[in-house]
Chain A
Amino acid sequence: MAKVTIDGVEMEVPDGTTILNAARSVGGDIVPPAMCYYSKLEGSGGKCRTCLVKVSQGSTNDPRPMPKLVPSCRTTVMDGMVVENITSPEVLEARKGVVEFLLINHPLDCPICDQAGECDLQNLGYKHGAAATRYEEERRTYKKIDIGDKIKLHMDRCILCYRCTYVADQVADGDRCHGIINRGDHAEISTYIEKAIDSDFSGNMIDVCPVGALTDKTARFGSRVWFTKPMDAHRDCENPKCSGKVVVWEKGEEILRVTGRKDAYHEVEEFICNTCRFEKKKVSDWVIEGPRHINNKSVISANHYEHLKDIKEDIEKYQKQVAANINKA
């Protein structure tokens, strides 16, 4: 076991745990954001650089600080390590930079993007980004393409987290026919020559995509996510590799979309098959368990009137502030 301190919070975690997972074991604001790391996908992480943290003490044995910020998703803890996440201005500044880099070529088309409301990039930008852009150059654009009849690839929105390629290798039977082609800022997700991704588990690429680059064609433009209600549901799935445990996103009596069940860090608990995801859109297909509890405060969780107390507090705080400002004026 190793004793680690992150933003002043002490914790004990098994040796070999990464800083990010140590933080997640406690939760809250000390958890660095992660756009490319996905605990269920081997090899993921290290690329987006949003989870950079400062190690101000390496370990009890070697207390020297690490010379550079380190990716918390790929750096393992040492006994006595002291980490600064949001308590370090250096980290916040670097993270602001990363958000800016991720956004300079992003189309910012949230108003027409299906991912809006449950987008990691949107949340990241809101929490760690700057209000305005300094980017005045032309943004790069790509053609929207279909990769398979159920998945739309909107490359403009992609942040090259590589997660979908790991899904293809590790979840979708290793039958990967899409990948990263070209290099540098011309790199893109592609099948190179038009090919349909043909695997029973390919739909999981949509769930792991942190942005709106891969979307479910059977649900595209169906509804803003905050107008739908997420419900835990299950069915006896014929596919032995699929648990049949999903979230159905309802609007009225209709199921608009089926996804995996995502945890507090937007990772699916279990990967689901394409039949469950794309074919089963009738309420009668499913045993509905009840509202999905969304752990983080968001527009989606508000649909079940959860966190209303928090939201009420926010509103009161805001009202007080407005009143104070008016008084000052």
Chain B
Amino acid sequence: MGRKLLLEHVNVPGIETLEVYRKMGGYSAAEKAIKTMQPDDITEEVKKSGLRGRGGAGFPAGMKWSFIDKKSEKPRYLVCNADESEPGTFKDRYLMEKIPHALIEGMLVSSFALGAKTSYIYIRGEYFYVLRILEKAIEEAYAAGLLGKNIFGTDYSLDVHVQIGGGAYICGEETALLESLEGKRGNPRMKPPFPAISGLYASPTVVNNVETIAAVPHIINITGDEYAKIGVGRSTGTKLISASGHINNPGTYEIELGITVEEFIYSDKYCGGIKGGRKIKAMIAGGSSVPILPAHLITKTANGEDRLMTYESLSDGGFVSGTMLGSGGFIILDETACVVRHTWTLARFYHHESCGQCSPCREGTGWMEKVLHRIEHGHGTMKDIDLLLDIAKKIEGNTICPLGDASAWPIASAIRHFREEFEYHILNPEKVKDPKHFAHEPFVSSNVENA
């Protein structure tokens, strides 16, 4: 345990430059792939590796690649989703900022595998300074003949461009991203058709997350079979986790999938335990969209088994007692945190980020935020709690894209596990007036006591 692939050389001085990156073995996978492998063999290796989409959905990457329409006469595109905007998630930013060539090399290998001659990296608008880092890296790669015409002396040519966004979480949804890349509003498209058939400019397109693409050269280096040996079951390989909230060492960590949640939270190698030695109250394991879990369900599943950092173990118990690995945005709330306030800020986030195209999300996210705002500020009524659950239920599954679900799950799960805290707000409006109400006098729920 503890094997590093993506971040193995992150502390090597100058690793952001092409020179040092190559010294550490960079672009050897690209050379191997382009000079000695057939595109389909690369897809095959990625399939064997079991690599799953690292953006949040966890869809097998090799399978996604194999859906691309090869009969189409239109150009094919690889688009990298660097629109990292899920609250709690900042791993792609870290990787691009520290080792930009890891992404460029991944783009090169993946584009070759897919037969793409032009590829785009769509990065969120707020990451302007990261855009500059990527542009510099791309310039270096062009100068060294690693991008452009006849790469490694073969007849393969590739152009990579970076597109900057304008500030919209929804563009992390792959079809909204494509709309945005075409210079339009980030309204998700109806599916089908899926991007693999009709994506960017109605051409066959694969959209992959930064971390997914950056993992591909490592798979080529060590082979898919070796990669699949890391991890547990269908959770193969390593994963970047960005940890934040009330922990001693917030930051981005590369873990082997399969370490225990307990180790991740309490080991000094990772989060280093809860700030100020306080009690843990809740965990959001995979970005703000995934269900929040109370203390007694964090390190153990409902069956009493150790909870692991894997897709399967985190979702053990379904939404009743489990959550999701999602994007790896790991947020810890300690006993001084107010779950209601935290949930309200997330509701406000989804309200702010709804594209407004379909009615349940457009109207429902705003409604939920307003009700939560009232509860948090001491103006709620008991029937508001069930109202929230009902609104969430009527959004979930009924929208064009997953933003509807993403807005509903945090609220439904917070009420599921912390209902008494919502009730406390309604019954004690005077006590919740101060925004930091529980910082002075933690609300002791049965969940915290059980921990």
Chain A residues in contact with chain B, CB under 8 A? 45-49, 52, 68-69, 71, 74, 93-94, 97-98, 100-102, 104-105, 134-135, 137, 159-160, 180, 182-187
Residues of A near B185 (CB, < 8 A) are 180, 183
Contact of A185 among B190, B365, B387 (CB under 8 A): B365
Residues of A near B357 (CB, < 8 A) are 47, 160
Given A47-B358, A184-B366: A137 in contact with B400 (beta carbons within 8 A): no
Looking at A47, A69, A74, the one whose CB has the most chain B CB atoms below 10 A away is A47
A100 to B398, CA, bound (A): 14
Residues of B near A49 (CB, < 8 A) are 358-360, 398-399
Residues of B near A137 (CB, < 8 A) are 367, 370-371
Residues of A near B168 (CB, < 8 A) are 183
What 6 A-B pairs come out closest when comparing CB atoms? A97-B394, A187-B356, A101-B363, A184-B354, A137-B370, A185-B366
A183 to B187, CA, bound (A): 9
Interface 1/0 per residue, B360-389 and A, CB below 8 Å: 101111110011000000000000000100
Min Cβ gap A282→B in Å is 41
B352 interface hit (Cβ, 8 Å): yes
Contact of B359 among A134, A159, A183 (CB under 8 A): A159
Min Cβ gap A193→B in Å is 18
A21 to B364, CA, bound (A): 28
Contact of A184 among B351, B370, B393, B400 (CB under 8 A): B351
A105 in contact with B398 (CB, 8 Å): no
B359 in contact with A47 (CB, 8 Å): yes
B145 interface hit (Cβ, 8 Å): no
B397 interface hit (Cβ, 8 Å): yes
Min Cβ gap B384→A in Å is 9
Looking at B353, B354, B394, the one whose CB has the most chain A CB atoms below 10 A away is B394
Given A48-B359, A135-B367, A185-B365: A98 in contact with B354 (beta carbons within 8 A): no
Could you show 7 A-B contacts with beta carbons less than 8 Å apart? A52-B398, A68-B398, A98-B360, A100-B394, A101-B363, A101-B394, A187-B356
B366 in contact with A102 (CB, 8 Å): no
A104 in contact with B363 (CB, 8 Å): yes
Residues of B near A160 (CB, < 8 A) are 356-357, 359, 362
A98 in contact with B362 (CB, 8 Å): no
Residues of B near A71 (CB, < 8 A) are 190
A185 in contact with B360 (CB, 8 Å): no
B314 interface hit (Cβ, 8 Å): no
Return the chain A residue nearest B188 by Cβ. A46
Return the chain B residue nearest A46 by Cβ. B190
B352 in contact with A184 (CB, 8 Å): yes
A183 to B169, CA, bound (A): 12
Given A71-B190, A134-B387: A94 in contact with B354 (beta carbons within 8 A): no
